[in-house]
C-alpha cells in the first residue's frame, strides 16, 4: 500500500482525544468508527480507562498492536507531541483536525508538524480540517454527529474541498438526495498532502468515477495544472474556485493586468486542463451527477420530450443559450411518433406529449427517439402534478436508460414533496434529475463538453 492508502483503507485506527462527552469532536469521531468501521479501533485518552466499551490508552505508544492510521483531535498546543508519538509508534497516516496553525499565523507550529511527518515517513491531512470520509472503508473523521448530519451511501463521486464546513453540508445534502459518494477529503491547511497529490491519487482510485474540487487558491499553480491535465483524460473533474471578487488595481500599466483577476486565470487554467468549471456550488454536483451516472454522448444534438409545453420551450431556449444543438428527428421517426400520439400533440423538437400523457406514451415515444440517428442525448421533462402520469414512469425511464445507455438521458421535474420523492428514486438508480430546465441543460452541456475534450465528439 502507498502512504495515502492508509488514510482510506487502514486496518487499525487510533483516535487521539477520544472523549466520553457527547458534544466533543473526539466523541463523535470515536463513535463513527465504533459504529461502522470494520478494523480495530483504539481510543487514546489519558483520563479514561474505557470508552464505548473499548479499552482506552493514554498514548499510542501504549497500544500493543500496530496502528495504521490516527486521528488527532486535541488542542493545537498538544498536537506536536501527539504526532511525535505517532511517528515513534510507526503510524502511517494521520488526520489533524484542530485549527490554531498557519491560518492564524502560527506558521512555525505548522512547519514542525510537516518536519515530524517527513522524518517518520507519515502522511498528514490537515491541520484545521474535517479530514476524511470514505463510504467504502467507513473511515469517517467528520465530527458532526450522525443525527445532525447524515452520511451518504456508496457512489462514484469523490470531493476534495478546501473548506471543511462546506464539505460537511454537501455530504448531508448528498445523503438526503440519494447522491452516491465515494470519498470526501477536507484538505485544511495542507501541511503535507495537498490538493495536487490528492487529485493524482483519486485519478488512480477505482472507486472514484468523478472528482469534484472546491478550491480557493493553490500553493503551486503549475503543478496543479499538470495534475489536472494528467487526470482529466482518465476521469472527469468538476471544479469551482471560491473567492471570485477581485479588486483590480487601477494603476496597472496594461489592460491585461487589470483584467487578470485570480478567478479569471483559474477559470482559463481549468478549461485548458480539461476541467469542467462550475459557476456555483449547485453546479458542482449537478455536473458531477451527470458525469458519474451517464455514458458520454457522441454528439451535442439534444431531443426534448415533455408533457408541459412551457418547460419544453424553456429547455429549448437553454439548449440554444448554451450553444448546444437541437436534434432534428428523421421523417420516419416523426411519422411513427405521430401515429401513437393524439392529433393535438406537437411532434418536432420539443415533442410535446401533452398534459394527458401517461407512462406508456413516454415509453413508446422515447423508444423511437432513442433509435433515431439524429439524436445524441435526450432531455425528458415530466411534470408529475398531472393526473395521467403515474409513478411507473420511473420504471419506464430506468428501462429506457439502460436499454439505450449510449444516449444519455437527463430528467427535469419540478415540484413539491411528491415530485421530490420521485427525484430521489431516480437518483438512487443513477438517472440524473434536475428541478429546472436551466440546471438540467447546463449539466448536459458539461457532459457534452467533457465528451468533446475526450475526443468522442468532433467539431
Partner 1 sequence: MKISDRLAYGILKRYGIETARYAFVKDRTHAERASKKLSFPLVLKIDSPEIIHKSDSGCVQVAFSENDLGEKFKLIVKNAEKLTKKIYGVILQERIDGKEMMIGSKVDEQFGPVICFGLGGIFVEALHDVSFRLIPLEKRDAVYMIKDSGAYDVLRSRGESNINAIVDTLLKVSRLIEKEGIRELDINPLMVNEKGAFAVDVRIIK
Measured from the CB atom, the residue of 52 and 260 that comes closer to partner 1 is 260
- Site membership for partner 1, residue 242 (CB under 8 A): no
Query: Segment contacting partner 1 (CB under 8 A): 11-19, 168-176, 199-207, 264-272?
Result: 264-272
Cell 436499454 maps to which residue?
A: 403
The distance from CA 120 to its chain's CA centroid, rounded to whole angstroms, is 33
Pick between residue 261 and residue 435 the one whose CB is nearest to partner 1: 261
Q: In terms of Cα–Cα distance, which of 383, 309, 313, 304 is closest to 349?
A: 304
H helices present in 121-185, as ranges: 164-176
Does 217 engage in binding with partner 1 (CB under 8 A)? yes
Residue 244 binds to partner 1 (criterion: CB under 8 A): no
Binds partner 1 by CB under 8 A, chosen from 38, 255, 331, 339? 255
Looking at 207, 258, 281, 385, which residue binds partner 1 (CB under 8 A)? 258
3-class SS at 179? Answer: coil
Q: Which of 34, 48, 52, 265 binds partner 1 (CB under 8 A)?
A: 265
264 belongs to the binding site for partner 1 (CB under 8 A): yes
Q: How many helices (H) and strands (E) does the chain have?
A: 16, 19
Sign, CA dihedral 279-284-285-290, equals: positive
> Which residue, 258 or 420, is less far from partner 1 as judged by CB?
258
Q: By three-state DSSP, how is residue 241 classified? A: strand
CB of 163 to partner 1, least distance (A): 18
Site string for partner 1, 268-307 (x = CB under 8 A): xx-xx-----------------------------------
- 3-class secondary-structure state, position 225: helix
CA separation (Å) from 165 to 26, 129, 169, 332, 354? 17, 9, 6, 54, 44
Query: Edge to edge, what strands does the sheet with 93-96 contain?
Result: 40-44, 12-16, 69-72, 93-96, 123-125
Q: Does 90 bind partner 1 (CB under 8 A)?
A: no
Burial of 411 (0-12, 13-18, 19+ CB in 10 A): buried
Q: How many CA atoms lie within 13 A of 336 on its CB side?
A: 14
Binding residue (CB under 8 A) for partner 1 from 267, 364, 424, 428: 267
Residue from 222, 244, 360, 373 in contact with partner 1 (CB under 8 A): 222
Residue 152 has φ and ψ, to the nearest 5°, of -70, 165
To partner 1, the closest distance from the beta carbon of 263 in angstroms equals 10
Q: Tell me how far apart the alpha carbons of residues 13 and 37 are, in angstroms, rounded to a whole number.
A: 9
CB 259 → partner 1: shortest distance, Å?
5
Q: How far is the CB of 268 from partner 1 (least distance, A)?
A: 3
Per CB under 8 A, which region of 50-58, 247-255, 311-319, 407-415 contacts partner 1? 247-255
Choose which of 221, 242, 374, 435 interacts with partner 1 (CB under 8 A). Answer: 221
Q: Which residues bind partner 1 (CB under 8 A)?
A: 217-218, 221-222, 225, 248, 252-260, 262, 264-265, 267-269, 271-272
Amino acid at each position: 500500500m502507498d502512504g495515502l492508502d492508509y488514510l482510506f483503507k487502514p486496518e487499525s485506527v487510533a483516535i487521539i482525544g477520544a472523549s466520553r462527552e457527547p458534544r466533543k469532536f473526539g466523541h463523535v469521531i470515536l463513535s463513527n468508527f465504533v459504529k461502522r468501521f470494520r478494523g480495530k479501533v483504539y481510543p487514546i485518552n489519558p483520563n479514561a480507562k474505557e470508552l464505548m466499551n473499548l479499552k482506552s490508552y493514554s498514548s499510542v505508544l501504549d497500544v500493543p498492536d500496530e496502528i495504521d492510521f490516527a486521528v488527532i483531535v486535541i488542542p493545537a498546543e498538544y498536537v506536536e507531541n501527539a504526532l511525535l508519538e505517532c511517528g515513534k509508534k510507526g503510524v502511517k497516516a494521520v488526520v489533524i483536525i484542530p485549527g490554531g496553525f498557519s491560518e492564524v499565523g502560527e506558521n512555525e507550529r505548522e512547519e514542525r508538524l510537516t518536519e515530524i511527518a517527513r522524518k517518520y515517513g507519515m502522511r498528514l491531512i490537515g491541520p484545521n480540517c474535517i479530514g476524511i470520509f470514505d463510504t467504502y472503508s467507513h473511515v469517517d473523521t467528520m465530527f458532526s454527529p450522525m443525527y445532525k448530519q447524515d452520511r451518504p451511501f456508496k457512489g462514484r463521486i469523490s470531493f476534495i474541498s478546501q473548506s471543511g464546513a462546506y464539505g460537511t453540508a454537501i455530504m448531508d445534502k448528498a445523503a438526503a438526495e440519494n447522491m452516491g459518494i465515494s470519498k470526501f477529503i477536507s484538505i485544511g491547511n495542507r501541511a503535507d498532502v495537498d490538493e495536487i497529490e490528492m487529485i493524482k491519487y483519486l485519478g488512480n482510485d477505482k472507486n472514484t468515477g468523478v472528482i469534484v474540487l472546491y478550491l480557493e487558491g493553490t500553493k503551486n499553480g503549475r503543478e496543479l495544472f499538470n495534475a489536472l491535465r494528467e487526470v482529466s483524460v482518465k476521469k472527469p473533474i468538476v471544479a469551482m474556485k471560491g473567492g471570485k471578487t477581485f479588486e483590480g488595481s487601477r494603476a496597472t500599466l496594461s489592460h491585461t493586468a487589470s483584467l487578470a483577476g485570480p478567478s479569471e486565470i483559474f477559470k482559463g487554467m481549468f478549461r485548458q486542463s480539461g476541467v469542467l468549471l462550475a459557476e456555483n456550488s449547485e453546479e458542482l454536483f449537478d455536473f458531477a451527477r451527470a458525469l458519474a451516472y451517464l455514458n458520454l454522448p457522441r454528439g451535442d444534438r439534444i431531443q426534448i420530450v415533455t408533457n408541459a409545453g412551457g418547460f419544453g420551450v424553456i429547455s429549448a431556449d437553454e439548449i440554444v443559450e448554451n450553444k448546444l444543438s437541437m436534434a432534428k428527428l428523421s421523417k420516419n421517426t416523426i411519422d411513427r411518433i405521430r401515429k401513437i400520439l393524439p392529433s393535438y400533440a406537437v411532434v418536432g423538437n420539443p415533442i410535446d406529449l401533452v398534459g394527458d400523457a401517461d407512462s406508456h406514451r413516454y415509453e413508446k415515444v422515447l423508444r423511437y427517439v432513442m433509435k433515431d440517428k439524429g439524436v445524441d442525448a435526450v432531455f425528458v421533462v415530466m411534470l408529475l402534478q398531472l393526473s395521467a402520469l403515474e409513478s411507473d414512469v420511473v420504471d419506464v425511464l430506468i428501462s429506457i436508460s439502460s436499454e439505450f445507455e449510449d444516449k444519455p438521458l437527463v430528467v427535469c421535474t419540478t415540484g413539491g414533496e411528491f415530485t421530490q420523492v420521485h427525484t430521489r428514486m431516480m437518483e438512487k438508480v443513477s438517472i440524473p434529475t434536475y428541478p429546472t430546465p436551466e440546471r438540467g441543460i447546463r449539466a448536459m452541456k458539461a457532459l457534452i463538453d467533457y465528451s468533446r475534450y475526450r475526443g468522442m465528439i468532433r467539431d
